[in-house]
Amino acid sequence: MTELVEFTVLGLVLASVYAVAASGLVVTYTTSGIFNFAHGAIGMMSTFLFWQFTVGWDMHWALAMFIILVGIAPAFGWIVDRVIMRGLANTSEVTRIVVPIGLLFALLSLAPLIWRPTENRLVPPIFGRQLYDVLGINVTRHQLVVVAIAVVVALGLRFLLFKTRSGVAMRAVVDSRELTQLNGASPGRSSALSWALGSSLAALAGILIADQVGLEVLALTLLVINAYAAAVVGRLTSLPLTFLGAGILGLAQSYAVGFMPDTPAWLAERGIEASGALRTAIPVVMLFIVLLLVPHAPLRGGGIQRSREAAVRPDLRGSLIGFAVVIGVTVVLSGMLTEANLVAWGKGFAFALIMLSLVPLTGYGGQISLAQLSFAGIGAWAVATWGTNGSPLGLVAAIVAAAAVGAVIALPALRLRGIYLALATLAFAVFMERAVFTQQAVFGGSKPVSRPQFGPLELTSNRAFVIFMAVAFCAVGMGVVLLRRSRFGRRLQAMKDSPAACATLGMSLTTTKLMVFALSAAIAGLGGALLASLQRLASPANFDLLHALPILLLAVAGGVALVSGSLFGGFMLASFAIVPGWIPEGWEIAGFNARNSFSNLLLLLPAVLGVSLAHNPNGAAHEIGQQVRGVLARVRGATGEDEPDMVLPPRNVETLGVDRPLRDEDIAAVDTLLGLDEEVIGAAARSR
């Protein structure tokens, strides 16, 4: 009985921290409409700052807390809203999800640059270890204060949202941004205020839990997944239900530590550690289950979405030339590169393939997945298991296994859309990382992989294998280009634009989503298998969330609707291993090792590119393509031939003709505005 009370109290303390973190998430989401994936990272940075102030600079904890919670954290939230999130108006759901993930990754990469991870840091429980007797068990003062703080936060938020002018305006923005504006309130101000408040709550949660989790960048950042699970119970909008969710999760975790039986012997003998895996995976399991259980809005028409993203229909000739160039360059360059750089070049193709898996899924079909690297991990495992002695069956097994898991995981996720789908796939990815890939029976630390052999065709040399990877990427890439031009490609694009219209025309969204999820997982599985074959090693370390984030960021930053975008993203990621090597060893700039510093700065690049999507949602490959086409058009002297096979979204007429010459789409927008169709324009031209 005492044990039960003990674990209940511990659970409630955990729950209090989750509640504080989750309520910050909910306040930001309901007011600004943007799900702050970086919530945990903001808490992590704040906690490190707190350590710096209190331990590093000997500041009193109360003053440090005041400076962080009232000054730095809210200011950061305010600035993030003003500078980054404000730019997300009229962008697709994918962009609105990826930009905060960019911010998460930026903070995750930045923190170890400021606070070197090699140093051991401790945050003592702020409110002391003095013990009190509660219901017959000993509780520290820190634990009591944490619970009290959660209660104060709950009451404070209730007061703010219902009794103050700013709070009412924040709630009004949720209902109707336009109406709030018409009534004299400023939605921009409300949204900035919610970001400030959210950041402050993230900081508070981080500081409160630091004594339990330790000052560790990734652990503190990923604590936010627990907050996601709690917030989803409240459907990201209800604060009371969010607090309930936090309570359930805190208690479940605490009871699991106290009462979950050990793994049965028959499982342990087979290298499966079920109990420990389940304990660490409780938050993601809860997140996944709740996502499937909470009722979701039915399909509704939302009118034609005018998004800033361009929809691209790739042209065949250009794609063929592009693929030929990729293979040609690889053949030539692979004879010149060092072995290490050759492997890095090969990794570029593996990453590009994994990113390519997002093109049909996200680029064409509008479905979001944060689990692509997990499918790649399944591919790596399959090739290690069935590809022994160079059997090409390993690659086939990788494709089939990943597709099968992709379809199985898609089944429950089919009814989810947007942010809920993103969270469900994230939960799956973290589950695979924590509970599956770590098992002795799966990777067992790491597995050796032999490279496939096709009859007499030997791929044992790095050069031969990298050329094979280039050909594989181009073949799959061509398939994806043809897919976009096919019936299925049109279906995917239609599903992205209006699921409601698709259903009323007779399209089964379930089948379409299932097919595209399986296809996408298969491509990622192939990418993972090739990566493992290239390295001759399948290791779970390659497929964790920390590696998954830059893959998603660079895929979208490269251009998620373009095959060239994935190539751009893949090689950008691979170049991080090559480029710093060009700086001579031992060079110093202002006392810093130039190679290491540059290497560290490169780590920030995916984040910067991800965040920059707010301003350029089409991605880099699209922009480069536009520039190249512009130059080509000028060289050809604007003969009108070879018009780009690309349809651009309309622009606001207010932006026309101010500081640049009119483009075709500007004229089309004016035509639309004036209600002119080709017939009228043609007649007018003839009469002239």
User: Which uninterrupted H or E stretch holds 592?
Assistant: strand 592-593
Nearest distance in Å: CB 504, another protein? 5
Determine, following the binding rule CB under 8 A, whether residue 297 of this chain makes contact with another protein.
Answer: no
Determine, following the binding rule CB under 8 A, whether residue 509 of this chain makes contact with another protein.
Answer: yes
Nearest to 210 by CA among 90, 285, 277, 122: 122
Q: Which is nearer to another protein, 258 or 649 (CB)?
A: 649
Contacts of 28 (CB under 8 A, 6+ apart): 34, 35, 36, 39, 77, 194, 195, 197, 198
CA distance 593 to 229: 42
Determine, following the binding rule CB under 8 A, whether residue 298 of this chain makes contact with another protein.
Answer: yes
Q: Which of 295, 303, 637, 661 binds another protein (CB under 8 A)?
A: 303
CA distance 124 to 142: 10
Q: Which of 90, 140, 453, 493 binds another protein (CB under 8 A)?
A: 493
Q: Which is nearer to another protein, 138 or 511 (CB)?
A: 511
Residue 364 DSSP one-character state = I
| Dihedral class, residue 455 (left if φ above 0, else alpha if ψ from -120 to 50, else beta) | left
304-323 residues in contact with another protein (CB under 8 A) are 304-307, 311
Q: Which is nearer to another protein, 213 or 646 (CB)?
A: 646
Q: Which of 75, 329, 475, 500 binds another protein (CB under 8 A)?
A: 500
Determine, following the binding rule CB under 8 A, whether residue 219 of this chain makes contact with another protein.
Answer: no
Stretch of 52-60, 292-300, 418-426, 441-449 lying at the interface with another protein (CB under 8 A): 292-300
Number of residues that bind another protein (CB under 8 A): 41
Q: Which of 140, 275, 391, 498 binds another protein (CB under 8 A)?
A: 498
Determine, following the binding rule CB under 8 A, whether residue 186 of this chain makes contact with another protein.
Answer: no
Determine, following the binding rule CB under 8 A, whether residue 504 of this chain makes contact with another protein.
Answer: yes
Q: Which residues partner with 134 through β-bridges?
A: 137
Determine, following the binding rule CB under 8 A, whether residue 285 of this chain makes contact with another protein.
Answer: no
93-114 and 605-612 helices cross at what angle (nearest 10)?
Answer: 150
CA distance 431 to 279: 11
Kindly state the tokens that stand for 145: 């204060």
Q: Which is nearer to another protein, 627 or 672 (CB)?
A: 672
Q: Which of 661, 675, 686, 687 binds another protein (CB under 8 A)?
A: 675
CA 656 to chain centre: 35
Nearest distance in Å: CB 311, another protein? 3
Kindly state the tokens that stand for 644: 């780009």
Stretch of 133-141, 466-474, 625-633, 643-651 lying at the interface with another protein (CB under 8 A): 643-651
* Site track for another protein across 453-492, x = CB under 8 A: ----------------------------------x--xx-
221-240 residues in contact with another protein (CB under 8 A) are none
Kindly state the tokens that stand for 457: 């065709």
Q: Which of 508, 596, 627, 652 binds another protein (CB under 8 A)?
A: 508
Written as one string, the DSSP assignment of 432-457 is IIIIITTSTTTTSS-EE-PPP-BTTB
Vertex 460 angle, CA 455 and 461, to 5°? 130
Distances from the Cα of 629 to the Cα of 320, 365, 626, 635, angstroms: 16, 26, 5, 10
Determine, following the binding rule CB under 8 A, whether residue 580 of this chain makes contact with another protein.
Answer: no
Nearest distance in Å: CB 411, another protein? 16
Q: Which of 347, 434, 451, 496 binds another protein (CB under 8 A)?
A: 496
Q: Which is nearer to another protein, 586 or 640 (CB)?
A: 640
Question: Around Cβ 323, how many Cβ atoms within 10 Å?
Answer: 21
Q: Which of 184, 654, 678, 686 binds another protein (CB under 8 A)?
A: 678
Determine, following the binding rule CB under 8 A, whether residue 497 of this chain makes contact with another protein.
Answer: yes
User: Which uninterrupted H or E stretch holds 311?
Assistant: strand 311-312
Q: Which is nearer to another protein, 147 or 294 (CB)?
A: 294
User: Which uninterrupted H or E stretch holds 133?
Assistant: strand 131-134
Contacts of 268 (CB under 8 A, 6+ apart): none
Determine, following the binding rule CB under 8 A, whether residue 668 of this chain makes contact with another protein.
Answer: yes
3-state secondary structure of 138: strand
- Torsions phi, psi of 556, nearest 5? -75, -40
Determine, following the binding rule CB under 8 A, whether residue 174 of this chain makes contact with another protein.
Answer: no
CA distance 281 to 671: 56
Q: Which of 165, 677, 685, 686 binds another protein (CB under 8 A)?
A: 677
Determine, following the binding rule CB under 8 A, whether residue 647 of this chain makes contact with another protein.
Answer: yes
Stretch of 232-240, 441-449, 475-483, 670-678 lying at the interface with another protein (CB under 8 A): 670-678
Determine, following the binding rule CB under 8 A, whether residue 503 of this chain makes contact with another protein.
Answer: yes
3-state secondary structure of 248: helix
Stretch of 168-176, 184-192, 227-235, 503-511 lying at the interface with another protein (CB under 8 A): 503-511
Determine, following the binding rule CB under 8 A, whether residue 176 of this chain makes contact with another protein.
Answer: no
Nearest distance in Å: CB 679, another protein? 4
Distances from the Cα of 200 to the Cα of 20, 27, 40, 70, angstroms: 10, 11, 11, 7
Give the torsion sign (CA, 114, 117, 119, 123). Answer: positive
Binding site for another protein (CB under 8 A): 298-307, 311, 487, 490-491, 493-494, 496-498, 500-509, 647, 649-650, 665, 668-669, 671-672, 675, 677-679
